[in-house]
Structure 1
Amino acid sequence: MLKKFLMIEDFISKEALSGILLFIATVAAVIVANSSWGQAYYDLWHMPLGMTLGEKSISMSLTYWIDDGLMALFFLMVGLEIKREMVIGELSSVAKASFPIIAAIGGMVVPALIYVALNTDNPLGFGIPMATDIAFALGILMLLGTRVNPALKLFLVALAVVDDLGAVLVVATVYTSEIKAEYFLHAGVTYALIWLLNYMGVKKILPYLILGVFLWIFIHEIGIHATIAGVLLAFAIPISSKIDEDKFIEKTRESLDEFEKHRDPIPVLNHHQIDALEGMAYGYDKVQNPLVRLEHNLHGLSAFFIMPLFAFSNAGVIIDFSTIDANLMIVLGVVLGLLIGKPVGIFGFTYLATKIGLIKKPDDISWYDVIAVGFLGGIGFTMSIFITHLAFSDETIIAAVKLGVFAASFIAALIGVMLIMMKKKA
């Protein structure tokens, strides 16, 4: 139990620092975009880059390489988090999972309905207010320190994981370009080979990642957003280790005894001690869970490089409120979806489901806490921006929506923080 708690605390602390970096990267992007360097900023991200594999060439702008390539690694990490939570975490049983699942569903359905109601003639942007930026939300909770009920953090993590799964499904099924069915066979065979590795008990990560690259290429060619390859790969990564903990303890103790038995006054390790160390290193490698190890390795890369880079390359928007006037209903759908739809959906769905006996509210959080988390769930930010680029191609619409996402996320965060601080004072 302590090990699990420490793992969650480490996850939350990294997400918190990532949220701060995201904020800095976003502010920097907006400042640069509205400065004399603005044109150079846009030229940089629209610079074409490509690669050739045999007779096949792939060429995209730098922004698309970040959004389709690096973000595939981010979605790989998201997929690993989802699988971990479903197998051993807060979503591993019906009793644990039911409350955050219902909360997440409400937090996705209501914002989408609000957007569609205001944009019946152009509903494609419904996915934008459905997303929650877990890094920003957890970052705010961590900055509040002891004012925050620890159970609230766990609830937000579980809710955000389910929310991420919903976002993945929307991206996979809705935001796709022209489908090239002939590549389905290539992708299917590649994915089958990945699962074959799992079935054969392969615990090394490298073979999975190599096949994952080919899966990314084939899914990109199909026309489905290539980041989905990351999630599909994550579900196939094995979670069980090569040896169990008891075996590791036994072998490590034997190696440690061997190391101690052959101590000598010479200040250089002898070959018996070196062999003992190699035995411990072998056990260390084999006892680690492949899924958890890969998630741990990706988390720093994602939190401190991929997401800040994504924010800096995508958040730069020229502050021009005339774009909002020209796309008022779209922006209003996004703003009201995040600012009203999220808290209403999260609170409303869980409250009704509890009243009819479908789920049970955890004893360590109150309905007041659920409302506060609902507003923090309205921090869409990077995920909302990501889906904005999938939903629209018109740069004026994208610029207007980004301003709406910034405004709604800021206000939602402010209300969430105020509610938490007011409860503490009371």
Structure 2
Amino acid sequence: MVVNARRLSEWLRTESGSAALLVAVTIVALLWANSAIGDSYTELWHTELGIVFGEHDFEMSLHHWINDGLMVVFFFVIGLEVRQEFAVGSLRDRRRAMVPLVAGVIGVIVPAAIYLAIAGRDAVDGWGVVVGTDTAFLLGALAIVGPRMSNQLRIFLLTLTVVDDFLAVSIIGVVYTEDLQIVPLLIAVAGLVGLWLLSRTSEWRSAPYVILVIVVWAATLASGVHPSLAGMAAGLLVPARPTERGHVESAKTLFRDYWQSPQATVARTARRGLARSISVNQRLHDVLRAPVSLFVVPVFALANAGIYLGGGVLGEAFTSTITWGVIVGLVIGKFAGIGLGTWLAIRAGLGRLPDGVGPGSVLGGAALSGIGFTVSLLIIGLAFTDGDDAAKATVGVLAAMVLATALGWTIFSRARVKWGETSADLPVTLDPPVDVTSDHIRGPADAPLTVVEFMDFECPFCARTTGMWKDVHAHFGDRVRYIVRHLPIHEYHPHAFLAATAAEAAARQGKFWEMHDILFANQAELEAEHLLAYAEQLELDMNRFVIDLESEEVATLIVANEESANVSGARGTPTFFLNGRRHRGPHDARTLIAALEAGSETESAARRRS
């Protein structure tokens, strides 16, 4: 029972699991609202809850606490994700970001225009219902109906939904704001300025950011502006940065202190050092991601999806322009808008599709973007004061979920058969395979287990720097061999290519691994004069070394390694291939050892079956 509960918990944390949870909660809400005890559903969410401070009180219905309180955490997490994308993700590269950026903008405009064309006379304020995409549902549906491997498409769609969510939240904050109160609004702005100033300092603790976010939320709520905008804005102001090797080394030293002296004060210092090595943004996102997907959004769905469908409501809905405006706006509008935006961006030369992603996969993802749910239900509560109109719009959102998923499944199936798009991801197989005559190998050449690393001599997290390979070799001994191939990251590591030529020049005198180790031990000193000094230290023939260092043949070897990385799906360093398959996820020694052992057991089982 404990094992099954653990497996269920792990599955719910996956994208398909969280989507299934939302579907289940939505069904529960509908059944509850339409059951014999349906009145209790309405009564529960209208229960008044409040906080009292002396003569002052802060009171709202449970429904408002969820929509204006809990959901702020949801939008705060979206803001954190957007900031991460700009700092270390796909939005950092302008050319990679332009196609989903344009597609996201047009994917908001077209659905709104379609809704207004169909339902504008009856409920003009409802156009905001069709502008947003539910990221959790989208990724869950992609995991179920999309290609088996779709990581590159997933990144494309995530970037697109970042734009989509940002515009949707901005619309909520600007369009659906009433009774604006200036003083609380100024306090909220001051809180946001405080967050910005805090982000400009070296403050690494989470508490000051969290306190300011709470102040901004309360002030925004009192101002009349919907607090979702405050959540998004606050998340955007929490700093994100790449992990720096120096901070990791410092944390390692602190943990060594604790290992030698396991006392409470030393443990607290070590925890602080570990926290300091990771950006505030990443830490808050990691803490909040699971509660948001497993609690906040399901509770929101439970409170908002339960509409009464009796008394002819369902029949009236499907004859209403509001319902059809929502359905056509979400299903056709999102599909057409994102598809058109992608085509226009590529045609204008603003960017290109991610490697491994075909047009059929993009159209399938565009279809799934018609799943509005979370943002759509939130806007329904703001846009419609008439309960019947709100019910009609909610029916439209729920119907659009089903239709958009079916359309996405149909397009993915068609793309698989007609265009051969069986994957929407980078290649995962090492190409070319290991060649014992040309690759640099540590360990027995015929070892049954193989670790290949695409590395860069300036990469602070490659295996020689982290010591990962030593632990793997200590565990497997002569059962494993280690191969490195060059992948200099020219944009960020200007000396990496020259360092790679030095290693290959040393290889021509039988000293590749010796030069490899020296280069990693001196990553900050990789200028030409340093490389010559290292060659002298290894007692190489200097004339031959200089000739090889400048030879076109040696440069060609490194370019061949870069081409191997490209066709094998390696886009950064370090990238590991275990027994010829690209490894995903953490690349610490314990994880790689477990992956190698799992792969070895799978191969042994396959041989026994044959």
Q: Which has the higher helix share?
A: 1
What SS does the aligned partner of 1:58 have? strand
Q: 1:259 to 1:42 in 2, by over 3 A?
A: closer
Equivalent in the alignment of 2:43: 43
1:325 corresponds to which letter in structure 2? E
Equivalent in the alignment of 2:316: 325
Equivalent in the alignment of 2:383: 391
Equivalent in the alignment of 1:356: 348
Q: 1:56 to 1:195 in 2, by over 3 A?
A: farther
* CA distance in 2 between partners of 1:215 and 1:295 (Å): 18
* CA distance in 2 between partners of 1:275 and 1:398 (Å): 56
Equivalent in the alignment of 2:76: 76
* CA distance in 2 between partners of 1:149 and 1:370 (Å): 11
State the Cα distance separating 1:348 from its structure 2 match: 1.0
The equivalent position to 2:400 in structure 1, one of 380, 384, 408, is 408
Q: Deviations over 1:202-228 (max 9, x none)?
A: 221112212222211111111100122
Equivalent in the alignment of 1:267: none
1:151-300 mapped onto 2 (5 Å cutoff): 151-240=152-241, 244-250=244-250, 252-253=252-253, 255-256=255-256, 271=261, 280-300=270-290
What SS does the aligned partner of 2:59 have? strand
Q: 1:365 to 1:251 in 2, by over 3 A?
A: closer
Contact 2:13–2:294 (8 Å) recurs in 1: no
State the Cα distance separating 1:418 from its structure 2 match: 2.1
2:169 corresponds to which letter in structure 1? V
1:206 corresponds to which letter in structure 2? A
TM-score, scaled relative to structure 1: 0.88
Contact 1:112–1:126 (8 Å) recurs in 2: yes
Equivalent in the alignment of 1:21: 21
Q: Deviations over 1:11-54 (max 9, x none)?
A: x9644322111111001100111111100111001111122334
Equivalent in the alignment of 1:4: none
Equivalent in the alignment of 1:134: 135
Contact 1:323–1:397 (8 Å) recurs in 2: no
Q: 1:118 to 1:240 in 2, by over 3 A?
A: same
Contact 2:50–2:59 (8 Å) recurs in 1: yes
Q: 1:40 to 1:418 in 2, by over 3 A?
A: same
The equivalent position to 2:360 in structure 1, one of 368, 379, 397, is 368
Contact 1:13–1:142 (8 Å) recurs in 2: no
* CA distance in 2 between partners of 1:176 and 1:274 (Å): 50
- Aligned residue-pair number: 405
Q: Deviations over 1:305-347 (max 9, x none)?
A: 0000000111001124546637711111111101111110001
Q: 1:324 to 1:196 in 2, by over 3 A?
A: farther
Contact 1:175–1:225 (8 Å) recurs in 2: yes
Q: 1:91 to 1:272 in 2, by over 3 A?
A: closer
RMSD of equivalent CA atoms: 2.4
Contact 2:129–2:380 (8 Å) recurs in 1: yes
Q: 1:80 to 1:45 in 2, by over 3 A?
A: same
Q: Bigger CA drift: 364-373 or 326-335?
A: 326-335
Contact 1:147–1:420 (8 Å) recurs in 2: no
Contact 2:83–2:238 (8 Å) recurs in 1: no
Equivalent in the alignment of 1:91: 91
State the Cα distance separating 1:274 from its structure 2 match: 6.9
* CA distance in 2 between partners of 1:120 and 1:273 (Å): 67
Q: Deviations over 1:56-107 (max 9, x none)?
A: 3222111010000000111111110111111111111211110111111121
Contact 1:239–1:291 (8 Å) recurs in 2: yes
* CA distance in 1 between partners of 2:367 and 2:290 (Å): 27
* CA distance in 2 between partners of 1:275 and 1:209 (Å): 25
Equivalent in the alignment of 2:64: 64
2:175 corresponds to which letter in structure 1? V
State the Cα distance separating 1:150 from its structure 2 match: 2.5
Q: 1:116 to 1:205 in 2, by over 3 A?
A: same
What SS does the aligned partner of 2:227 have? coil
Q: 1:259 to 1:187 in 2, by over 3 A?
A: closer
Contact 2:83–2:239 (8 Å) recurs in 1: no
Percent sequence identity is 33
Q: 1:251 to 1:46 in 2, by over 3 A?
A: closer
TM-score, scaled relative to structure 2: 0.63
* CA distance in 2 between partners of 1:251 and 1:69 (Å): 36
Bigger Rg, structure 1 or 2: 2
Q: Deviations over 1:220-264 (max 9, x none)?
A: 1111001222112212212248x93224325524753x567x5xx
Q: 1:119 to 1:140 in 2, by over 3 A?
A: closer
Equivalent in the alignment of 2:585: none
Matched, 1:309 2:299: yes
1:246 corresponds to which letter in structure 2? G
Contact 1:347–1:374 (8 Å) recurs in 2: yes
Which sections of structure 2, spanning at least 5 residues, go unmatched? 1-9, 419-610
What SS does the aligned partner of 2:178 have? coil
Q: 1:255 to 1:169 in 2, by over 3 A?
A: closer
Contact 2:156–2:354 (8 Å) recurs in 1: no
1:116-131 mapped onto 2 (5 Å cutoff): 116-121=116-121, 122-131=123-132
Equivalent in the alignment of 1:347: 339
* CA distance in 1 between partners of 2:149 and 2:244 (Å): 36
Equivalent in the alignment of 2:31: 31
Q: Deviations over 1:172-215 (max 9, x none)?
A: 11011211123222222222223232233222111221222221
2:203 corresponds to which letter in structure 1? V
Q: Deviations over 1:339-377 (max 9, x none)?
A: 111110001122123223333333421221121111100
* CA distance in 1 between partners of 2:34 and 2:81 (Å): 37
State the Cα distance separating 1:130 from its structure 2 match: 0.9
Q: 1:186 to 1:146 in 2, by over 3 A?
A: closer
Q: 1:323 to 1:273 in 2, by over 3 A?
A: closer
* CA distance in 1 between partners of 2:56 and 2:378 (Å): 27
Contact 2:88–2:241 (8 Å) recurs in 1: no
Equivalent in the alignment of 1:6: none
1:412 corresponds to which letter in structure 2? A
Contact 1:324–1:331 (8 Å) recurs in 2: no
* CA distance in 1 between partners of 2:304 and 2:251 (Å): 50
* CA distance in 1 between partners of 2:251 and 2:341 (Å): 51
Contact 1:148–1:420 (8 Å) recurs in 2: no
Q: 1:273 to 1:343 in 2, by over 3 A?
A: same
Q: 1:108 to 1:372 in 2, by over 3 A?
A: same
2:118 corresponds to which letter in structure 1? L
State the Cα distance separating 1:287 from its structure 2 match: 0.6
Higher relative contact order (CA 8 A, sep 6+): 1
